[in-house]
Amino acid sequence: MIKPTQFKPSVAPLNRLGDLSIEEFLASYWQQKHAVLQQVFANFTPPIDANELAGLALEEEVESRLIKEPTPGSWSLESGPFTEGTFSSLPEENWTLLVQAVDQWHLGVWELLQQFSFIPNWRRDDVMISFAVPGGSVGPHYDHYDVFLIQAEGEREWTIGPKCDDLSERAENDQLDLLADIDAQESHLLKPGDILYVPPGVAHWGVAKTASMTISIGFRAPSVGEVFQDFGKELEGLLGNDSRFTDAQRTSSTSPGELSSADITLVQELLQSHVADKSVIANWFGSYMTEPKRDELLPLVDRVDVDGAYRECLVRDAVTRVAYHRTPTEFLWFCNGEVQSLNSTCARLAERLADEPILSLEEVSLLVDDESTREWMNELLEQGHYHLYE
């Protein structure tokens, strides 16, 4: 169990990324090209240290991995949970410990994630943290999602390669999806407080020059195939078995073996008629993008020691994913894969709950001003999505 970090009443998002304003970064770099962002966090102090990270890797509920490279190019992978003996027997060089979703187990890391709220909540994923000894790395690779790589301590040299895809040549490794050759284009040495932003598909490879910690802020980016697959399930549940392909007023076929262009048009129009309904897409997509990765996780009080961490505020649980969608006639609230249509008084509270991870009790009391809102707020508390501290 991790001791709490002292929290501020609110967690403000970053307003600059080094020399770039947020708007400049989004316009010129986001999803387009990598960026080396120097001293985004001046005099940076990591919210978690290497011993705490190793402690999390001992826990059965925490996803952790250990990557070793005893000889050049011979990467191996071990999955946790580990034991204290695992770490005491490791060499002084060429290994990396990775721990997933640390924001769900450590309040200071969760607070750091909130500073990236210039990207919507539904788009953000979780925080992976790696600790590496000199020479440690995870090998040359690319990701299918955007990532901010925060240099938390020590120094790590990053090599940047070209854009890659499924056809890029892979290394011969049964455990890790690594590139055979990174085809280096640039190299950058990151120091504490620096950030490397890497968009999807860009090859990168970080090697620790000293004992080094990197905090990775990742983002959700479902594949087009995943989107169609899940939306298809949604339509199947909505439409039922009676909704069928139809072809009334068909003309006589002179070529019974042909699948005609007119038939393809009928199918295309059938698909487009459902994709064109924004209300169906909104209901589905909000639920889809707020689904938690882990269906079951320990309650907050069993994951972190919250004693003394908060005063007079309402705090969203680190596992809870929320979003809202407003139309002229409806307000939809999404919470961990579930959707609700809320009345106008509940909607005022819901908007603030989704936009701010921490609210003062003074503001909450002003927003919870009728019976329906009180009942809805109590539901969120009882379900463990929010926690009240007096």
pLDDT of residue 310: 74
Question: Residue holding tokens 């169906």?
Answer: 280
Alpha helices per DSSP H over the chain:
22-28, 50-56, 84-88, 107-114, 224-239, 261-275, 278-290, 300-303, 344-355, 361-367, 371-382
Q: Which helix (H) or strand (E) holds 29?
A: none
Burial zone of 131 (CB within 10 Å; 0-12 exposed, 13-18 middle, 19+ buried): buried
pLDDT tens-digit readout, 142-198: 999 999 999 999 999 999 999 999 999 999 998 999 999 999 999 999 999 999 999
3 state DSSP class of 51: helix
Q: Which helix (H) or strand (E) holds 64?
A: strand 64-68
Q: How far apart are CA 134 and CA 152, in angstroms?
A: 15
Ranges for all domains in the chain classified under CATH 2.60.120.650: 16-219
Structural domain 16-219, CATH architecture: Sandwich (2.60)
Q: What is the CATH topology of the domain spanning 276-389? A: Malonyl-Coenzyme A Acyl Carrier Protein; domain 2 (3.40.366)
Answer for the pair 183, 205: CB distance below 8 angstroms, yes or no. no
Q: Tell how strand 322-326 and strand 186-190 pair up.
A: unpaired
pLDDT of residue 295: 64
Q: How far apart are CA 334 and CA 211, in angstroms?
A: 41
The most distant pair of C-alpha atoms in the chain lies apart, rounded to whole Å, by 80
- State which residues of the chain have pLDDT below 50: 1-10
Task: State the DSSP string of 197-229.
Answer: EE-TTEEEEEEESSSEEEEEEEE----HHHHHH
pTM to 2 decimal places: 0.92
pLDDT of residue 7: 38
Ranges for all domains in the chain classified under CATH 3.40.366.30: 276-389
